[in-house]
Every structure is written in C-alpha cells, then in structure tokens.
Amino acid sequence: MAMNKKMAISSVVGIVIAVLIPLSAVLFFKYKEQSRNIVEFPQSYYPIGWDTARDETGKIQLSKKGKVVIDTSYHSVPSFQFNSQDGQLFKSESLKGNLYVAEFFFASCPGICPIMNGNMQRVQQEFLGDDNVKIISFSIDPERDSVKALKQYADKMNAISGKWYFLTGDKQAIFDLGKQGYKLTTQQGDGGSKDFEHSDKMILIDGDGHIRGYYNGTDSAAVKDMMGDMVLILSRMRK
C-alpha cells in the first residue's frame, strides 16, 4: 500500500516537472522576444568640448570656459499656475518628481476632445494606483470653462481628484504656455462652433519637467504606446 502511494506521488511529481520545464522555456523565450521590442529612450547627449558634473541637486551641469548651464536633452516646460476644477490654485512645482500627461481641450468641444478624454480615462485607469502619475488638462476656453464648469466636466469624465486636474485661468497665459511651453498649436478660430483650434496631441513630461514625447490622443494604438513608454520612464525614475 505504502509502495503504491509512493509510486503515485512520484508519478504526479514527474508529470508536474514534465509540464513546468517546457512551459518555463516557452515563457522565457516569449519574454526575451518581447524585450527586443522595447524602445529605449536616448541617453543625455553631451556636446564635444563641454565638461559635465552634477550639482547639489543631482542634475547634470555642462560647463565650457567657466560658463555653467543645466543640461537638458529635452525641452523643459516653464512653470505655470492656474485654477483647478476643485477651486484650488494649482502650481506646476507640485508636479516635480511626477510623470504626467498634458493636453489642451475645452469642455464644449464637439470634435476631438471627447475622443481624447475617453483615451485619457484609459490612462487614469491604467495608472490608478501610481501616485507618481498625473494628468493635466488645460482649457483653452477659460471664459466659458469656469471652475464650476470644469468640475461638472471632470465629474462627467470620472476624473479622480488629485490625479486628473482640469485647469483654467488667463486665456493668453494658457495660449502662450501651449505654444511656447508645450510647442503646440492653440489658437482662436472663427468664433463659431469651432471657435478654437488645438492640437490632438497628448504630451508626456517627466519628473524634471522635460517633454519626452508627443502622441496622437485620438488614436488608441498611439495612447497604448504612450502608456508603455510611461512604464519605462517610471522604472528609470525609480532607479
């Protein structure tokens, strides 16, 4: 009886081993194949003839002939402050150390905005548990997009307070930020139903305020690619 029991156990163990070994091999080669498709972000580029060193904050400094500048391989977004849908003054300094996605929209937009913000909901859901990921939506129609109006719109989008911010404020300041800060097209239209022309791009900005990429916010595949890049950047930020 005991012998039969041992033989049964041995048979089960043998079957488990026979299944696990080939399964492990399949998973290994699948992961290896997927890893080949990961696009690495370029490392910082330092021009010939410049010396590099880190300052007290850990940032790379470039120096040449005694002149020191902060290195940035990517465009840096200038500081800003606008009112959020919660009626609080939102300052860009609060984004330091966080990865965020920005867009320009307006609540009454009949065209691309609903599509873009539908995709932005996917981003919010994907990084729901990551406090280092934020979403910033700038209104380019602040005259109609009051704090109250943006609160209603945020609720409609199921935006989570502290995660997804809808910002409004001085129109010219927002337009200048879009054009000069984020390098996007944001301009007034013909005064009709398409009163504002704006970009369909989502912009990915890292914890140092550097623009890391532009993605078509109306294209589900492009948004999926962006989320993959977000995972990669977050992993590097946390090293």
Per-residue model confidence as pLDDT tens digits over 152-161: 999 999 999 9
Same-domain check for residues 116 and 149: yes
User: Does residue 227 sit within a domain?
Assistant: yes
Per-residue model confidence as pLDDT tens digits over 120-167: 999 999 999 999 999 999 999 999 999 999 999 999 999 999 999 999
User: Does residue 7 sit within a domain?
Assistant: no
Q: Note the pLDDT of residue 219.
A: 95
- DSSP label at residue 26: H
User: Does residue 17 sit within a domain?
Assistant: no
- For residue 179, give Cα distances in angstroms to 31, 104, 174, 214: 41, 11, 9, 14
Cβ–Cβ < 8 Å for 226, 215: yes
Q: Give the angle subtended at the CA of 175 by the CAs of 212 and 156, to the nearest 5°.
A: 80
Residues 168, 149: Cα–Cα separation, whole Å: 10
Looking at 73, 89, 115, which one is the last position of a domain?
A: 73
Identify which has the larger pLDDT, 46 or 10: 10
Q: Is 35 exposed, middle or buried (0-12, 13-18, 19+ CB in 10 A)?
A: exposed
Same-domain check for residues 58 and 147: no
Same-domain check for residues 69 and 130: no
Same-domain check for residues 54 and 162: no
Same-domain check for residues 183 and 209: yes
Q: Which domain covers residue 52, as residue numbers?
A: 44-73
Same-domain check for residues 231 and 118: yes
Same-domain check for residues 123 and 158: yes
- What amino acid occupies position 229? D
The mean pLDDT value for 98-116 works out to 93
Same-domain check for residues 147 and 217: yes
The span from the first CA to the last CA of the chain, in angstroms, equals 57
Same-domain check for residues 196 and 175: yes
Q: pTM of the full predicted structure? A: 0.69
Total domain count for the chain? Answer: 2
User: Does residue 5 sit within a domain?
Assistant: no
User: Does residue 64 sit within a domain?
Assistant: yes
Give the CATH number for residue 215: 3.40.30.10
Looking at 57, 73, 89, which one is the last position of a domain?
A: 73
Residues 86, 147: Cα–Cα separation, whole Å: 7
Same-domain check for residues 48 and 139: no
The mean pLDDT value for 63-81 works out to 70
Same-domain check for residues 93 and 192: yes
Confidence of residue 237 (pLDDT cuts 50, 70, 90): confident
- DSSP label at residue 191: S
Residues in the chain: 239
User: Does residue 34 sit within a domain?
Assistant: no
User: Does residue 29 sit within a domain?
Assistant: no
User: Does residue 111 sit within a domain?
Assistant: yes
Same-domain check for residues 142 and 204: yes
